[in-house]
Structure 1
């Protein structure tokens, strides 16, 4: 799916936030350097975010320089990337921070140098450390996942496993807390059988799920931070012969994840829109270069629950819609 198709899709029910404008003299398009610093280069979510930013920068006539951490949690790598972008003369930097509070000094340095800094996907802590944030409402996405899981579980007594991402990131905290709220339980509730750190990776999702199943074979609901972790969890469940007995849910909306929902591996996932985040971010940097106008605050780029097994009272879309609007291969 092209960036333009995603931004124009009426079915999203979201106002178009990207704008066209004439350059007014502060900078010509070809002089504008847009920096993009993602958590990793290998996670499909960030791959598609980079592709969207590249496409939008090309359309606007700007130059994109993309960098990433070496692994999920590589705070030092991201700090070094921002240092390089400041030196390269970036007019704006789009950042998905590995650690929401660990980037504050370098973000301040960039902003003090006149660089527009926009957080994509992951908010900083505090949120106003950056000029603006374009992201999924990750708490609400977690609520959607948890509410569906609890209702779809029916009258079964819940025994929940939590496959978390990387400690220190607001995405991880918001999704985790949102799931608990949607599910109707609190941290420390005896319904929670245990938790594992996956760093959003499939191999760690599988190992974490295997360890939790070894401790409690009665787990019947699994929260996952993202679809790679969910794929790992499914592999572990299948190896234990439990794949048909567990309410496995996730968040992402990648095409591979939507296909896993269609194939019955994941009961439901919450789709988000990395193309939109990146394209809006590039537009904002180019506009800032041209007019000096800065975006501010939090802009929710939207989310939808995707499942072929809808439940009463929970709004959702099926995988046919999901496959038309997903990102990735």
Structure 2
């Protein structure tokens, strides 16, 4: 009888130990989400990362952030690495809307939901795209120009983002949709500077060498606008510089009259929304195909 009780007692202890082990295993089974950013050498995407990290912590996810350094080859490698880690969802801010397609198709084959942020993909299966309305934002910049100059003759320089990126295409299309049919508006140069501040400076310097009669510079992001503004100041040109993003550096430049306006986005909100959508997908809730984040023109 004592032997039976002893066996029963040991069995009960073993059962309890197994229960504790299983419970602890569940607690350490952290759900993972992958975030692939085109670059972290840009305050806009750092803010997007910060927003995503904050929301992931709130919802109990481990967020793995990888930097593509504006290189489509590295981007694909990052996406494949995250697929191997069995993430619940992939948040991707593409380097290029065409180059990212093959990588997204690999994620599709692994049945991992893909959410694109800020820039679209031109192919592959995307569960949700989250971005500001870039066409509307470009149009807002164009309307700002008309409000400021009216019927005066306006020579405009447009500094474009990365060729092939949806944000480049949409911001440019929105801007041109407002201004192209105006007889007093002339685009004297439209050149790419890859969303980079130093390249924005170099491109603007080259443009100035050919023509200093410039009234407006519209850059597809704040980083390029800040670079262009530096070149404008160095050459004593009185031009209105308009950026796009609403980053802290641009807001400071507006306060000091180095820039006149920016179309302000909320990159931290885009990052937060990405995690919220990933959580809804994980919980098998329905999600919208496209989600727009608010925009506004910021001036001094």
Task: Determine if the TM-score, normalized by the shorter chain, exceeds 0.5.
Answer: yes
Match of 2:93 in 1: 96
Matched, 1:302 2:299: no
Alignment partner, residue 175 of structure 1: 171
Report what 2:268 is aligned to.
275
Q: C-alpha distance in 2, partners of 1:305/1:28? A: 46
Aligned to 2:66: 67
Aligned equivalents of 2:188 and 2:27: distance in 1?
Answer: 57
Whose strand proportion is higher, 1 or 2?
2
Aligned equivalents of 2:28, 2:215: Cα separation in 1: 54
Q: Is the 8 A contact 1:195 1:212 kept in 2?
A: no
The reply on whether 1:254 has 2:254 as its aligned counterpart is no
Cα distance in structure 2, aligned partners of 1:178 and 1:29: 48
Q: Which residue of 1 aligns with 2:121?
A: 124
1:109 to 1:28, Cα distance in 2 relative to 1, 3 A? farther
Kept after mapping to 2: 8 A contact 1:142/1:177: yes
Give the direction of change, closer, same or farther, for the CA distance of 1:30–1:305 in structure 2 (3 Å limit).
Answer: farther
For residues 50 and 297 of structure 2, what CA distance do their matches in structure 1 show?
Answer: 24
Distance 1:294 1:95, change over 3 A: farther
For residue 129 of structure 1, give the secondary structure of its aligned residue in structure 2. Answer: coil
Give the Cα separation in 2 of the matches to 1:156 and 1:206. Answer: 27
Unaligned 5+ residue runs, structure 2? 1-25
- Give the Cα–Cα distance (whole angstroms) in 1 for the partners of residues 52 and 28 of structure 2: 15
CA distance in 2, matches of 1:77, 1:260: 33
Mapped partners of 1:279, 1:173: distance in 2: 25
TM-score by length of 1: 0.79
SS at match of 1:144: helix
Within 2, Cα distance between the matches of 1:238 and 1:125? 39
Structure with the bigger RCO (C-alpha within 8 Å, sep 6+) is 1
8 Å CA contact retained: 1:38, 1:96: yes
Gap regions ≥5 residues in structure 1: 1-26, 309-329
State the SS of the aligned residue for 2:154: coil
Distance 1:29 1:121 in 2: 32
Scaled by the length of structure 2, the TM-score of the pair is 0.86
Q: Secondary structure at the match of 1:266?
A: coil
Cα distance in 2 for partners of 1:114, 1:152 equals 50
Partner of 1:111: 108
Residues 212 and 97 of structure 1, relative CA distance in 2, 3 Å threshold: same
Instruction: Look up the match of 1:216.
Output: 211
- Structure of greater Rg: 2
Q: 2:76 aligns with which of 66, 74, 79?
A: 79
